Amino acid sequence: MRVKGFSFRGNPVTITDMEMLDSLRPYYEEEEILLLEEALKKPSTHALYLNHHLISDEDFQALYPGLRAHPFIPHAYYFEQEDALGKSLLHNIGGFYILDAASMVSPYFLSPKKGERILDIAAAPGGKTSILSLMLEDGVLLSNDLSYKRALELSGNVERLGLSNVVVTSGDFEAAHPQYEEYFDAIMLDAPCSGSAMFRKDARLEQDWSKEKVLKNHEVQLRLLHLASTMLRPGGRILYSTCSFSYEEDEGSVLGFLKEHEDFEAVPLMDHPCFYHHKDLPEGIHLFPSHYEGEGQFLCLLRKKGEKEGTIFEKGRAFAGKLDPILKDFDLEGKDIRLHNDALYALPHPMRVSGLSLLRYGVKLGETSPRFLPDIALARALGKGHDIPLIKEKALAYLAGETFPLDGGDGFRVVSYLGIPLGFVKLTKGVAKNHYPKGLRRRY
């Protein structure tokens, strides 16, 4: 049962809060504990990451002039809760992803390099995957979640943002990892943890917290770090992160891993006044809400010793069947085309998916049976140059599922608003038949 204490500017202090804070005292200075205690009484923060492939920062800030830019992460912004951006048209058509400002820092420091093959090992619901995908140039990202239900949510977010370089799977790498030995250039490991850094946002995590859970998670984290190490190429990087304040799940897990893996080293990162470093692991970063405007996160970048060679991708597989004429105008040459569950998918480079349940293989081009119909994911991923711009009135009509007059040549065409592709229409004699998915239709 949640037992309330006193209140200061927002959230009440609870017995669980105090138990968690007491568990930190053997490791952190008393001044830091007291500052953290005060921070936990304050309201949570709200932030987003802009889909800068679809809309520029200048245009976005003109639409929402009240936003505050993140101090060091490009395309990241703070907003006030009352702005209700999560219900906005721009959010629903893929303009941005809402996530905790602390969660943005780990993909920023993993810093995808051009042409890399990356794994996000516990990716749902997709915040870190979205940032990694948008940062990654001419590479591919495998985003996995052990829960099939959560992987479906992840796949939906990948589609909403029009991310074309992401493979979504659900599976257990403890079983599948032998097929990925030294396969990835970089790995995001957002490890399961006790969640103490999310108490302000989710009371269920607070009620479920215990020191026993912290210690059990520590053992799981060591296993996952070892697992990730076997799948990483020499010279590659693991970004380890948790949403926990506990030393055992943070410094304790990293130091335990390094003790058993002499082929790895912790990498010093850019410093900032809002970062806290523990003396035992100065390369690690705590984002305490007492210093950093966010809910909290721990992260540490680990490098596998050795020389990193450039990734050599296999040649993309052309589709063995006949591609529909609808696709002839879209740049699919050199892409890896795959038929999966009666649907065609395209990925910039081949990605191994052995031992995992496949949900999405890059961009879904469309269903093939009984006849080919282009998918909204293809429209969202195409970007500018393939679209017919709509004025606001017609864009709202399209998102509501309506038919309307529209100039353009007959056939399937992509329509857009504010430069962002919305989906397909089928033009026939100046009338746009609506192909926006029925489950997404709504009136704004």
Positions marked catalytic? 243
CA distance 378 to 422: 10
Q: Which two tokens stand for residue 160?
A: 């909403």
> In sequence order, what are the residues at sequence separation of 6 or more whose Cβ sits closer than 8 angstroms to the Cβ of residue 328?
none
Q: What angle is formed at CA 129 by the lines to CA 65 and CA 173, rounded to 5 degrees? A: 165
390 SS3 class = coil
Task: Give me the numbers of helices (H) and strands (E) for the chain, helices first please.
Answer: 13, 25
CA distance 242 to 336: 34
> In sequence order, what are the residues at sequence separation of 6 or more whose Cβ sits closer than 8 angstroms to the Cβ of residue 110?
118, 132, 186, 188, 237, 239, 301
Q: What angle is formed at CA 83 by the lines to CA 81 and CA 87, rounded to 5 degrees? A: 100
What's the distance, Cα to Cα, between the start and end of the chain in Å?
A: 40
C-alpha to C-alpha distances, 86 to 83, 360, 421, nearest whole angstrom: 9, 24, 19
Q: Are 265 and 303 in contact (CB under 8 A)?
A: yes
Peptide bond into 421 cis (omega under 30): no
CA distance 248 to 165: 35
CA distance 417 to 443: 15
- Give the phi and the psi of residue 2 in degrees, each rounded to 5: -85, 120
Beta bridge partners of 300: 240
Enter the DSSP assignment of 296.
-
Strands 404-405 and 431-434: antiparallel
Distance of CA 228 to the CA centre of its chain: 18
Burial class (CB in 10 A: 0-12, 13-18, 19+), 39: middle
